[in-house]
Amino acid sequence: MNVVLIEDEAKIASFVAKGLDAHGFHVLVASDGAGGLTLALDPSVDLVVLDLMLPDMTGTEVLARLRERRTDVPVIVLTARDAVADRVANLNAGADDYLTKPFSFSELLARIHARLRPRTQALASVLTHGRVTLDLHSRVVTLDDRSIELSAKEFRLLETFLRHPGQVLSRAQLLDQVWGYDFDPGSNVAEVYVGYLRKKLSADVIETVRGAGYRLKG
């Protein structure tokens, strides 16, 4: 598995890179955002570990630019900032997980394995179910041949439904697959984004299964 580590602190970069190498990963390290973005855009890259504080641009900017061209690569954000606003901003920008410094390598490794687990299966570039089609490469979503514009999180949520056609997905499953972070159990972010998708696609595309979750209809 190929991992890109974008981290300007040499000690942290060396620590993480050596640890991942010892666990069988091929690690490419960049110390700035521009170099890291170039590496991360390579389709052979399986996962990105991204620091937010970089010398040339913020990690959030790197993430936004990456998501404009690649939605399929998991991104784990590393940062010394633990404010809720920072977490929400980066998760909304397309991050899959969020780890606050200082962190244990074992926790980072566990999160990397969790993010890569679904990628052990071949990923189709075009997903289709019923009236909906999603192209992972071009980021084009169509409903009945009509193009629909989605945000990064809406796109990821719809992709999750399309990878489990007809299956009921609970709120907890959606949070894990789309946001990759342990939200407050009382958070309604999954419900809110299902509502966004219904408005942009069609109210009857995603079905509510009372007491269980949501299902993409055929």
Question: Rounded mean pLDDT of the chain?
Answer: 86
CA distance 130 to 132: 6
> Residue 41: pLDDT above 60?
yes
Over 50: is that where the pLDDT of 127 sits? yes
Q: Quick check: pTM over 0.75?
A: no
- Least trusted range by pLDDT, from 9-18, 146-155, 165-174: 165-174
158/132 Cα distance (integer angstroms): 9
Ranges 156-160, 177-181, 190-194: which has the least confidence = 177-181
Residue 143: pLDDT over 50: yes
- More confidently predicted of 100 and 41: 41
Percent of the chain with pLDDT over 70: 89
Structural domains of the chain ordered from first start: 2-120 (3.40.50.2300), 126-216 (1.10.10.10)
Dihedral, CA of residue 50, residue 21, residue 109 and residue 158, to nearest 10: 60
pLDDT tens digits for range 151-170: 988 998 998 899 888 889 88
Distance CA 197, CA 202 (A): 8
Peptide bond just before 102 cis, omega within 30 deg: yes
> Nearest 10 degrees: CA dihedral of 27, 68, 189, 88?
60
At residue 120, the pLDDT reads 45
CB 142 within 8 A of CB 162: no
pLDDT of residue 94: 84
Q: Return the pLDDT at 42.
A: 93
Determine the pLDDT at residue 83: 62
Percent of the chain at pLDDT > 90 equals: 44
Q: What's the confidence (pLDDT) of residue 187?
A: 73
